[in-house]
Structure 1
Amino acid sequence: MKKFVLRPTLQWRSTRLFKTPLVLLIAMLLALGSALDAAARPVDVSLATLFPTERQTKTAVVINKVLERFHYRDFELSPAFATNTLEHYFEALDPNRSFFLDRDVKRFLASASKLDDDLALGQVDVAFDIFRVYRMRVDDRVEFALGLLNQPFDFSQPDTYQFDRAEAPWPQSETELNDLWRKRVKNDYLTLKLADKDDTEIRKQLRKRYEGIRRRIHQFDTDDVFQTFVNAYTQSLEPHTAYMSPSTSENFDISMRLSLEGIGAVLRADNEYTVIQRTIPGGPARQSGMVNTGDKIVGVAQGVDGDFEDVVGWRLQDVVDMIRGPKGSMVRLQLLPKAEISGGGRMREVSLVRNEIKLEDQAAKSYVIDKLDNAPDLRIGVIEVPAFYRDFRAESSGTQDFRSTTRDVRKLVAELKEQKVDGIVIDLRGNGGGSLTEATSLTGLFIEEGPVVQVKDSFGKVEVETDPDPEILYSGPLAVIVDRNSASASEIFAGAIQDYGRGIVVGEPTFGKGTVQTLIDLNRYVPDIDLGRLRLTMAEFFRISGGSTQLKGVEPDIPFNLGYDSDDHGERSLDNALPWGSIRPANYQKFNHVDLDGLISRSAERTARDPGFRMLTDQGRMLSEIEDRDLVSLREDERRQESERRDKALKEERNNFLRSRGIEPVDEDVDPIDEEALEKQQEVIDAIQVDEAARILADLIKQQGGAQRPRAVMRD
């Protein structure tokens, strides 16, 4: 899966980056927009030009050497690895297995016995041979689909469509492929029909969609083919290592120089859809209250009245190009909600004004929760930390009071002390990471001194990052709340707090991103030739207790079961992810032991009867069930009934909860929407988990006889 993100997430030293996964490193250009004009669309590329160049041969050789020398995982070319590369390449070109025939795949895999020797010499002819066949298969399928649009459709027959074929066998014959595409076109038509489009509009939109698939494949040049193949090669080793061609590297440099302007949404590709991975605090998407994780972007339009461009089947980079634009301009999105992942058809349109995402919009904030039902006499402070930020530009220019997470949290803790809070909750939900320096120094606010995280490089050397400040700012009761999207620096902070026993960690298991990447300019190995760059995994993070944050993430002391399948999310869901591992523990002191059993049982009793948790759990369970499905009915009445039933169930749970909190639910089908009321509604929903975290901390305070300073003891 591919993601776009403009800013680096966790920085190790000054040049090393690590982030959640991506397949192609062009994915580091996030749909945060830019002040650049959209690049002119490329022309149709002749098949006769699609052959590897001498520059690409040299690039492949250099990449091999870099991987062998510097990659964190031991790497050696072998026939098995070469075969795995071809399999990944087929998946990259045809993830839904709807273009290639089984005989195409078997023919090329059968010739892979000496591919490892070819790759060692930089010979990648097979990638271009496969792509030329792929382009011809795309042409055939598009012609077939366009022909079907000239025929009537009958939606009363008991037929089904397998919309997710990632694990399905490759089609055995053209007859099987024709039947697959007959169902696909029928499903595409039905999805738009359920969205209340008329016959003429549907056929026009689908014709444009299928012709667009063919046009974009015809625009692949030699660099596009080579980059796609090399990334299939690197993904066969490990999911975070990726190659950027010279042109992609140039776009990356331009994007990194731009201010954070745009809609503020991290995107990924999922088969033929562009999906909202998460929204960024302070960005237009998050502030609208109408763009949610898991929503699929099916159309993009410019300005107040621009026509929508159907983007189903588009490459992720092309969708990003459509969403990009200068500050103050409007982009409109057609979204298919996550609950409609099987194509129920209930779409919504969202208008967003591209804007600069300012540092202060992502800055830490605080508030106080009092009058808890289990501890009405206690006051709990909450500090929201959306990212581990540090204004490196201001710091490098000599500014003494530059913004950073640690500096902001220091001020917030002082303010909460003045408000006489009895404990503090650090909210890291949705925090995808940031600066390692900040993760380390923030931990230091809550411990006196000692190690925070261990870093092991590809040569086996272990370096320990330690708290730079021997003083402790806050020594009172502490809780950290995390979720499945808390990653990287968030996992380092939460893991350290947990290992020290300095506070309790509550919520969901975290993302599990424990590797470090660096950008390597390949030109250094072959002067005077632009070879592009390689994003290389070259180190791994380990907690001070010795275990890695890789794969497993941080397991909460007190878990919230919200109905999701954790194996389908985060690092655990990626092919070839590095395994969890351990090294020797660092030398550190642990605080007093906490009796977790009592805290867990009391929390479980509360959440079982809490309408908010019941809503979140039912919603999570329903969405997990939807994601596990790969078949939909092609009968119109069944699809309508299913969509209405699911929509009704989700709304009823949400509305019952909101009314239990004295909030009248907002009807999202009304135009115009009361955005202020919608924002208030979302605030109440977002508070469900943090309120329970405050109750858990209150239970801990009472268990310990009041807000006392934890006492350090030697680690066992």
Structure 2
Amino acid sequence: MLKKMGLGAVIYLYISFVNLSFSKAKAYPPGDIHPDKNQSAVCRLVVNMILANNYKKVAINDSLSVLVFDRYLKSLDENHSYLLAVDVAAFDQYKTLLDDDLQSGNLAHVFGMFNVFKMRNEERLKYALTQLDANYDFTKNDIYVPDRRKLPFIKTEADMNLMWNQRVKYDLLELQLSSPDIAKNRETLKKKYQNLLDQSAKTSSQDVFQLFMNAFTASVDPHAAYFNPFNASQFNVGITRALEGIGATLALSNEYVTIKSLTPGGPAYKTKLINPEDRIIAIAQGKDGDFQDVTGWRLDNAIALIRGPKGTIVKLKVLAKGKSASDEPLTVEVVRDKIILEDQSAKQEIRTYKAMGKNVKIGIISIPAFYFDHVAYTAGDRNYKSTTRDVKLLLDTLKQHNVDGIMIDLRGNGGGSLNEAVSLTGLFIKSGPVVQVRDVDQHIQVNQDFDPSIYYNGPLAVLVDRTSASASEIFSGAIQDYGRGLILGSQTYGKGSVQTTVDLNKVALKLAGQNKTNADTGKQDQFGQLNVTIGKFYRINGSSTQHKGVVPDIQLPSFIAPSKYGEDNEPSAMPWDTISKTDYIPVGLLNKVVPVLNSQYQKRSQTIAAYQAYSNEVKAYQDNQGPKTISLNAQAFKHTRDVNAKKALDRDNKLRVAIGLPALKKGEVKAKTDDLDFMKTEGAQILTDYIFLDKALFGINGPSYYPEGKTAN
């Protein structure tokens, strides 16, 4: 990696690192947060490594400075609830200076901005505390605007006070609907606001530096990232998610602790009540513990409450995705556990469908990630785990059950090992190219499957959605290019880049002429780590998976709107492009069958009640952006909540009844069930149609993509 940086870059970094010892710290007012002794050097190190090594090349200039400024300001006060317009106007002087600051390691401006935000944040919380004893009239028709992201920053302190009066009244009203005890509700809010003040007081220079580095790396490349020492350890442990207690990846989104993904088989997943994009608003310990409101908390402090010893209980108050802040939260009890690797592995199931008076068995293999236990492999462990090894065993099981076709479910699979994507593809094709990779020097390498054997040669489908990314797109793209199987679902994420992790401590030691590790020197991690993009993926047909992803042969409705999630929504994402195709021979004749299959699917979707009910669910979810304004009249507030809850229940019950499930009663909790997994159900149905259509086109035994291959039958 360092060799690619060039001698000039190495010398500059070394001088920057050494000069740190002699730099004089800027004087900051008492109570302000200021950079620590290493951060100026780390800033220069990160900038120069991004310049020298990142696949996407950018100039550190005024244009980039504006992008970094906007991202950093958004990270401070995305909801425009703390900073005044005059504060933001004062910050404008830094818009075209941050590029110079990045290269010189000057952090005075960004720390100054943060200290102003910190002051305003604490002012607002202290003001909120003074308003708790006010006599609020819940019969008046006041309104509150919870989402201020598209509104201008508030101009005057009087207007800011008015907005916060409304926020306090709204917070009290929410509690009031659950409990009429106003004194208790005021005490609950007092604890919430005081907790937020306490969190602000605990903010460290590492927090501020991380925010600024995030703004910089994301402005260059959405997949480049800096991790300070704490976050570096979190990132590395987070690969296994073993310490999160409930098996969930969390992020802070607009003051809410938000669930971004669930570990398959983990404690949260097993409750069948928690989903990605749900928001955790309160946490309690044990069955009888008191809830602590964590809205607006630091993410690491909220995680600390969620973590705990295996077997202990944590209770969560959760606002489901699509619900507004005025809706009733769901209380979920989770038994903490260490995440077991087996629960993160590929799984199989068999579903039976009726077609032309016959039973058709479809084997479904769900793959959560392209995993590979490198440590066990290098240690010579013959039982090392990998996606390909696990899928081979599952295929054996499905063959023994004489399934008629197999569907690979890659929904929610964000990628993983490139080698595993290649070897998994090799189970379904003869030897041949699978993916092309272009590196930072524009050299192109073709990754191939060299094994001429075919492990499964029968009818195949791959189910994807907008969260299928990276290695998932390599696999599904290759299957599509070869015509080996149907691609079903929704357009994939579009992440066509590959990253590597750089330990900045090792880099700094090398630059200082010390070929030692932190363990050798006895020093702790001081500089963190950097993820840089080092290559770009291309399909064997020459098309990049970047930005566009993989477009299914037959598209199914999905709750995830492509216009709001995916690589093409990232302003700093690399563009789509093409290179020359490789030499490969398509083996399927899917261009003949896809139009017929799509026609059959469209006919079902227009005539069967379950399809209409599911489409209504999807449309309602995508249309539900939450109310722009909330009435602070108690009667109107409760009426709106009740009406929204009834509409949601009616939609759910129409779908449940249409597929043969009992309707839910008001207040009854809806648990997860595969019967409501429309994409999986319909994907397997389309594969069933494909099998019978193949028999009509190719003969009674179905398609044989390779003459010497054996079908699953």
Q: TM-score, normalised by structure 2?
A: 0.87
The structure-2 alpha-carbon separation of the partners of 1:563 and 1:271, relative to structure 1 and needing over 3 Å to count, comes to: closer
Note the alpha carbon deviations across 1:617-642, whole angstroms, 9 max, x for none: 22222222223654333333333223
1:583 aligns with 2:583: no
1:180-219 equivalences in 2 (<5 Å): 180-196=163-179, 198-219=181-202
The residue type equivalent to 1:481 in the other structure is L
Inter-partner Cα distance in structure 2 for 1:283 and 1:331: 14
Q: CA deviation at 1:711?
A: 5.6
Which residue is 1:3 aligned to?
A: none
The residue type equivalent to 1:599 in the other structure is L
The structure-2 alpha-carbon separation of the partners of 1:261 and 1:146, relative to structure 1 and needing over 3 Å to count, comes to: closer
Q: CA deviation at 1:350?
A: 0.9
Which residue is 1:463 aligned to?
A: 445
Note the alpha carbon deviations across 1:101-152, whole angstroms, 9 max, x for none: 1221122222444443233211111011111211211122112211221212
The residue type equivalent to 1:283 in the other structure is G
Q: CA deviation at 1:65?
A: 0.9
2:690 to 681, 700, 712: 700
Q: Given that residues 281 and 386 in structure 1 are in contact (C-alpha distance below 8 angstroms), is that contact kept between their aligned partners in structure 2?
A: yes
The structure-2 alpha-carbon separation of the partners of 1:637 and 1:137, relative to structure 1 and needing over 3 Å to count, comes to: same
Inter-partner Cα distance in structure 1 for 2:111 and 2:337: 41
Q: Given that residues 244 and 306 in structure 2 are in contact (C-alpha distance below 8 angstroms), is that contact kept between their aligned partners in structure 1?
A: no
The structure-2 alpha-carbon separation of the partners of 1:222 and 1:357, relative to structure 1 and needing over 3 Å to count, comes to: closer
Which residue is 2:150 aligned to?
A: 167
The residue type equivalent to 1:293 in the other structure is P
1:685 aligns with 2:681: no
The structure-2 alpha-carbon separation of the partners of 1:197 and 1:330, relative to structure 1 and needing over 3 Å to count, comes to: farther
Which residue is 1:652 aligned to?
A: 650
Which residue is 2:705 aligned to?
A: 710
Which residue is 2:70 aligned to?
A: 87
Which residue is 2:161 aligned to?
A: 178
Q: CA deviation at 1:689?
A: 2.2
Which residue is 2:138 aligned to?
A: 155
The residue type equivalent to 1:691 in the other structure is T
Inter-partner Cα distance in structure 2 for 1:165 and 1:468: 56
Q: Given that residues 274 and 297 in structure 1 are in contact (C-alpha distance below 8 angstroms), is that contact kept between their aligned partners in structure 2?
A: yes
Which residue is 1:326 aligned to?
A: 309
Q: Given that residues 478 and 502 in structure 1 are in contact (C-alpha distance below 8 angstroms), is that contact kept between their aligned partners in structure 2?
A: yes
SS of the residue corresponding to residue 585 of structure 1 reads coil
1:301 aligns with 2:291: no
The structure-2 alpha-carbon separation of the partners of 1:418 and 1:304, relative to structure 1 and needing over 3 Å to count, comes to: same
Q: Given that residues 243 and 307 in structure 2 are in contact (C-alpha distance below 8 angstroms), is that contact kept between their aligned partners in structure 1?
A: no
**CA RMSD, Structure 1 to Structure 2 (Å):** 2.5
Q: CA deviation at 1:362?
A: 2.5
Q: CA deviation at 1:301?
A: 1.1
The structure-2 alpha-carbon separation of the partners of 1:255 and 1:555, relative to structure 1 and needing over 3 Å to count, comes to: closer
The structure-2 alpha-carbon separation of the partners of 1:287 and 1:610, relative to structure 1 and needing over 3 Å to count, comes to: farther
Which residue is 1:130 aligned to?
A: 113
1:541 to 499, 524, 537: 537
Which residue is 1:395 aligned to?
A: 377
SS of the residue corresponding to residue 530 of structure 2 reads strand
Inter-partner Cα distance in structure 2 for 1:245 and 1:403: 30
Which residue is 1:635 aligned to?
A: 633
Inter-partner Cα distance in structure 1 for 2:36 and 2:256: 32
Inter-partner Cα distance in structure 1 for 2:682 and 2:491: 16
Q: CA deviation at 1:701?
A: 2.3
Q: Given that residues 491 and 554 in structure 1 are in contact (C-alpha distance below 8 angstroms), is that contact kept between their aligned partners in structure 2?
A: yes
1:109-128 equivalences in 2 (<5 Å): 109-128=92-111
1:598 aligns with 2:580: no
The structure-2 alpha-carbon separation of the partners of 1:655 and 1:129, relative to structure 1 and needing over 3 Å to count, comes to: same
1:521-540 equivalences in 2 (<5 Å): 521-527=503-509, 530-540=526-536
1:264 aligns with 2:247: yes
Is 161-170 or 56-65 further displaced after alignment?
161-170
Which residue is 1:518 aligned to?
A: 500
User: Unmatched 5+ residue regions in structure 2?
Assistant: 1-27, 513-522, 708-713
User: Unmatched 5+ residue regions in structure 1?
Assistant: 1-44
Which residue is 2:6 aligned to?
A: none
Give % identity: 37
Q: Given that residues 209 and 313 in structure 1 are in contact (C-alpha distance below 8 angstroms), is that contact kept between their aligned partners in structure 2?
A: no
Inter-partner Cα distance in structure 1 for 2:48 and 2:254: 32
Q: CA deviation at 1:531?
A: 2.3
1:502 to 484, 505, 511: 484
The residue type equivalent to 2:543 in the other structure is G
2:268 to 285, 290, 293: 285
Inter-partner Cα distance in structure 1 for 2:346 and 2:235: 28
1:100 to 76, 83, 98: 83
If asked which structure has higher relative contact order (CA below 8 Å, sep 6+), I would say 1
Q: Given that residues 260 and 358 in structure 1 are in contact (C-alpha distance below 8 angstroms), is that contact kept between their aligned partners in structure 2?
A: no
The residue type equivalent to 1:55 in the other structure is N
Is 427-436 or 250-259 further displaced after alignment?
250-259
Is 228-237 or 650-659 further displaced after alignment?
650-659
Higher-Rg structure is 2
Q: Given that residues 452 and 496 in structure 1 are in contact (C-alpha distance below 8 angstroms), is that contact kept between their aligned partners in structure 2?
A: yes
SS of the residue corresponding to residue 566 of structure 1 reads coil
Is 356-365 or 343-352 further displaced after alignment?
356-365
Which residue is 2:614 aligned to?
A: 616
Is 148-157 or 299-308 further displaced after alignment?
148-157
Inter-partner Cα distance in structure 2 for 1:629 and 1:553: 33
Which residue is 2:220 aligned to?
A: 237
Inter-partner Cα distance in structure 2 for 1:246 and 1:692: 46
Q: CA deviation at 1:332?
A: 0.9
The residue type equivalent to 2:687 in the other structure is L
Inter-partner Cα distance in structure 1 for 2:569 and 2:356: 38
SS of the residue corresponding to residue 589 of structure 1 reads coil
Q: TM-score, normalised by structure 1?
A: 0.86
Q: CA deviation at 1:479?
A: 0.8
Q: CA deviation at 1:557?
A: 0.7
Q: CA deviation at 1:258?
A: 8.0
Q: CA deviation at 1:226?
A: 1.8
Q: CA deviation at 1:444?
A: 0.7
Which residue is 1:440 aligned to?
A: 422
Note the alpha carbon deviations across 1:71-98, whole angstroms, 9 max, x for none: 1211221122222222211111111111
Inter-partner Cα distance in structure 1 for 2:580 and 2:334: 50
Inter-partner Cα distance in structure 1 for 2:610 and 2:692: 24
Inter-partner Cα distance in structure 2 for 1:371 and 1:229: 54
